């Protein structure tokens, strides 16, 4: 996709007036979100605030009642076909018993571009190998995906997005059930991917980690309550709006991992 000289590139994510209902449940209400290239954006909100619904909407897996979603200035379907976007659902949204190996799953990231034959060429296999190397999973490449630890499973998805050269990573709670050391490793990896010009939208309940990981943050509660620099978004007033009242001695800099209502 080329941008004419003098014009700003299309936003990576352009969500306008997005409203999603499940029957009587209003999950997203008039949500707007713009994300520029080369940014890590943290998506923060209490359980049930609509984070996963926003991810599935960005992947075109839901039909909204109102509003629009564009990725890279084009339709979601086009962006997916071109391999521009990669999605890591929450762990429970994946069938880990499926009889595929780590390297099979990473190779699946290339399917969108390969068409119906889905036959990996030498260059594709090299991309899979490089991606596995980058996330430190080369030695586990033949293992069935169900035989991995929680942290390793998350890294498989990151490797898949690297192999397909996705420019937007949608990560739904990648740090859930991951120990501190793995979280640090993954944080460094995401920053390196950002520094290569990729964008990352990442939901997390680890508020204390947001200022280090994220260039910007979105506070969601059916609607976007705040969006901007993490220090401006993670204020007491905003967190109280999103999570309910917090203990008085908690400054945003010392924000808890699990405020009221978060797991």
From the CB of 223, what's the least distance to ligand ATP, in Å? 12
Q: Which is nearer to ligand ATP, 25 or 192 (CB)?
A: 25
Between 22 and 181, CB nearer to ligand ATP: 22
**Looking at beta carbons only, is 3 or 258 nearer to ligand ATP?**
258
Q: What are phi and psi of 59, to 5 degrees?
A: -90, 0
Task: Report 18-47 residues binding ligand ATP (CB under 6 A).
Answer: 22, 25, 27, 45, 47
Residue 253 binds ligand ATP (CB under 6 A): no
CB 189 within 8 A of CB 134: yes
Q: Please give the helix or strand (H or E) that residue 225 lies within, else none.
A: strand 223-228
Q: Least distance to ligand ATP from the beta carbon of 45, Å? A: 5
Q: For the sheet with 66-71, list strands across it.
A: 25-35, 13-22, 66-71
Q: Tokens for 175? A: 């740090």
**In whole angstroms, how close is the CB of 209 to ligand ATP at the nearest point?**
16
3-state secondary structure of 5: coil
Q: Where are the beta strands (DSSP E) in 36-167?
A: 40-44, 66-71, 85-88
Tell me whether residue 62 or residue 105 sits nearer to ligand ATP (CB atom): 62
- Whichever of 53 and 103 has its CB closer to ligand ATP, that residue is 53
34/255 Cα distance (integer angstroms): 25
Site size with ligand ATP, rule: CB under 6 A: 11
- Residue 191's alpha-carbon distances to 40, 159, 199, 225, in angstroms, are 8, 14, 10, 25
Q: Among residue numbers 167 through 196, which ones bind ligand ATP (CB under 6 A)?
A: none
| Residue 210 interacting with ligand ATP (CB under 6 A) | no
| 33, 52, 120, 174: which one binds ligand ATP (CB under 6 A) | 52
Binding of ligand ATP at residue 57 (CB under 6 A)? no
Q: Which neighbouring-strand residues pair with 25?
A: 22
| Closer CB to ligand ATP, 84 or 224, in the complex | 224
As a whole number of angstroms, the longest Cα–Cα distance in the chain is 59
DSSP 246: P
Binding site for ligand ATP (CB under 6 A): 22, 25, 27, 45, 47-53
């Amino acid at each position: 996709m080329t941008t004419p000289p003098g014009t700003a590139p299309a936003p990576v994510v352009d969500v306008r007036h997005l409203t999603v209902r499940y029957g009587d449940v209003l999950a997203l209400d008039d949500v707007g979100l713009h994300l520029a290239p080369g940014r890590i954006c943290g998506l923060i909100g209490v359980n049930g605030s609509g984070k996963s619904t926003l991810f599935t909407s960005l992947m075109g897996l839901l039909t909204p009642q109102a509003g629009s979603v564009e990725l890279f200035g084009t339709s979601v379907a086009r962006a997916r076909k071109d391999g521009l976007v990669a999605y890591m659902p929450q762990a429970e949204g994946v069938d880990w018993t499926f009889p595929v190996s780590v390297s099979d799953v990473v190779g699946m990231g290339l399917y969108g571009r390969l068409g119906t034959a889905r036959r990996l060429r030498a260059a594709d296999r090299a991309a899979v190998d490089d991606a596995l190397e980058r996330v430190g999973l080369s030695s586990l490449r033949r293992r069935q995906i169900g035989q991995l630890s929680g942290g390793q499973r998350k890294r498989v998805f990151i490797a898949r997005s690297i192999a397909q050269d996705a420019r937007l990573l949608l990560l739904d709670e990648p740090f859930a059930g991951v120990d501190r050391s793995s979280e640090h490793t993954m944080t460094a990896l995401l920053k390196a991917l950002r520094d290569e010009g990729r964008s990352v939208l990442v939901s997390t309940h680890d508020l204390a980690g947001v200022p280090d990981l994220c260039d910007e943050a979105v506070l969601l509660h059916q609607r976007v309550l705040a969006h901007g620099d993490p220090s401006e978004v993670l204020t007491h007033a905003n967190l109280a709006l999103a999570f309910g009242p917090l203990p008085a001695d908690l400054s945003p800099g010392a924000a808890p991992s699990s405020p009221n209502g978060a797991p």
